[in-house]
Amino acid sequence: MNDLNLTTLDGGLATVSAPVLDAFAASLRGQLLNAGDAGYDEARSVWNAMIDRRPGLIVRCAGAADVIAAVNFARENHLLTAVRGGGHNIAGSAVCDGGLMIDLSTMKSVRVDRVARRVWVEPGATLADLDKETQAFGMAVPTGINSTTGVAGLTLGGGFGWTTRKLGLTIDNLLSADVVTADGELVRASTAEHPDLFWALRGGGGNFGVVTAFEFKLHKLGPQVFAGLVVHPFDDAKDVLKAYRAALEDAPDELTCWAVMRQAPPLPFLPAQWHWKEVLVLAMCWSGDMAAGEKATAALRAIGKPIVDVVGPNPFTGWQTAFDPLLQPGARNYWKSHDFIELADKTIDILDGAIRTLPGPECEIFVGHVGGAAERVATDATAFPQRSSHFVMNVHARWREASMDDACIGWARGIYDATRPLAVGTAYINFMPADEADRVEAAYGGNYARLMEVKRKYDPDNLFRMNQNLRTKSKRKAA
């Protein structure tokens, strides 16, 4: 390699000589890439097409030793550093401009111990990778709803999906994590070892180091769940949402139902006259005894006069991919999110008006129903604070052309502002875009001060700042 000028933590440039770069490359089992190398553009490309950054160097790590070497190199050269797992993060913090990108995407091992009901997962694995291995033994870890999401980012932000009400958040099932801290030390974090770090990792994001392995508890689940979609005309949305709200008041933990509002894509089971018309979809999953699924979902399926009902037995791995076609990489994305204790009439009115002014055919709003087992964990038991919220709204603006940026982003921000008085103030950090740095303290609520103590202990110079950042003494520069 030639000498390189790389972006530093303070926004300046550091010249790293060719011999130093060559020695660094030789120390790796993986690859060291810079602009022009084969694989560079693939490594810097992430799910959200709004993110188009060019790291000065990319380390494609093959294992924990490579991660240690990369962290040491970044610290010693005071480099702006980003960490990529699955690359699905809405804020695009997996990629930096001009600095060092630590790419974990090739570290995809998943190892199941079916006797102990444990699974060890490397940080490049996706939900699909995890489900594939665990469902081979009729077991699962509660994760998210899009199979291309990375396990690492999902977990570090909290992690919720179809089985959260029954099995808890993803972090509630985390038993330990191997972490490379800012000083280049590999430590095990658990309730017995580095318990302060373990507490912070469960919801505190990538602020504390680079996780090279996760150990999760496994649960019996599958191979089938009782799940599917009930599609309603959007003209009925207000009445359907109020009935949906009522039906969930006494829902058992095994039942989850989310409301999705958007224009209907041309799904094969949907009559053609409804394609690209506004609809409200009740997406439900019963993860209990299969024989009880029909009865458990009956009240939700009896609401209104649906266009189509395709709820029934489905392979769990298939249901986990049900929304993948709507969330493929390559589109521009911007999200805004709130937590709600209740789905108030005023909130329903705002959502109804918002869908009638969609700026594009891929924009949508979903309302996720949470609580259950996740709610019965104490607010201060993990860094994830929003245990009391029952509904999570995510306004998902999605479009293809840069000329639509202002319209789509403005639409999402408008809904966020209109519903703010009805929200509880916390936020799911995995749903927060890059322009919400001023929201981080409120997102963590009463856990923020303790998180800052852990941050100062394990990353006092804020090496790991490409995230929803807990800012220590170093000032964050635009990446």
Q: Convert the pLDDT of each residue in 305-345 to its tens digit.
A: 999 999 999 999 999 999 999 999 999 999 999 999 999 99
- Element containing residue 278 per DSSP (H, E): strand 278-286
Over 80: is that where the pLDDT of 87 sits? yes
Where do the domains of the chain lie? 4-103, 110-221, 224-431
- Element containing residue 36 per DSSP (H, E): none
Percent of the chain residues past pLDDT 90, beyond the cut? 96
Question: For the chain, what is the largest distance between any 2 Cα atoms, rounded to a whole number of angstroms?
Answer: 71
Count of positions (residues) in the chain: 479
User: Which residue is it, tokens 């039942």?
Assistant: 255
Q: Are 100 and 118 in contact (CB under 8 A)?
A: no
- Report which residue type is found at 7: T
The CATH number fitting domain 224-431, selected from 3.40.50.150, 3.30.70.360, 3.40.50.2000, 3.40.462.20 = 3.40.462.20
Q: Tell me the whole-structure pTM to 2 decimals.
A: 0.96
pLDDT on residue 238: 98
Q: Give the up-direction half-sphere exposure of residue 435: CA atoms within 13 A in the CB hemisphere.
A: 9
CATH 3.30.43.10 fits 4-103, yes or no: yes
Distance between CA atoms of residues 117 and 285, nearest Å? 23
Q: Are 92 and 107 in contact (CB under 8 A)?
A: no
How far, in Å, are 60, 61, 463 from residue 65 at the CA level?
Answer: 12, 8, 18
Over 80: is that where the pLDDT of 62 sits? yes
Residue 1 pLDDT level (bands cut at 50, 70, 90): confident
pLDDT on residue 44: 97
Please name every residue paired with 283 in a beta bridge, in sequence order, or none if there are none. 229, 258
- Please state, rounded to an integer, the average pLDDT across all residues of the chain: 96
Q: At 68, give phi and psi (nearest 5°).
A: -60, -45
Rg (CA), the chain: 22
Q: Which of 170-174, 177-181, 201-205, 323-327 has the lowest mean pLDDT?
A: 323-327
Distance between CA atoms of residues 7 and 349, nearest Å? 47
User: Which residue is it, tokens 């690359």?
Assistant: 87
Tell me what the mean pLDDT of segment 223-247 comes to.
Answer: 97
Over 60: is that where the pLDDT of 477 sits? no
pLDDT on residue 241: 98
Over 90: is that where the pLDDT of 473 sits? no
Distance between CA atoms of residues 165 and 287, nearest Å? 10
Structure tokens at 363: 């924009």
Tell me what the mean pLDDT of segment 297-309 comes to.
Answer: 98
Over 60: is that where the pLDDT of 437 sits? yes
Tell me what the mean pLDDT of segment 405-426 comes to.
Answer: 97
Over 80: is that where the pLDDT of 369 sits? yes
Over 90: is that where the pLDDT of 144 sits? yes
- Report which residue type is found at 290: M
Q: Is 355 helix (H, G, I), strand (E, B) or coil?
A: helix
Structural domain 110-221, CATH architecture: 2-Layer Sandwich (3.30)
Over 80: is that where the pLDDT of 203 sits? yes
Percent of the chain residues past pLDDT 70, beyond the cut? 99
Distance between CA atoms of residues 290 and 268, nearest Å? 25
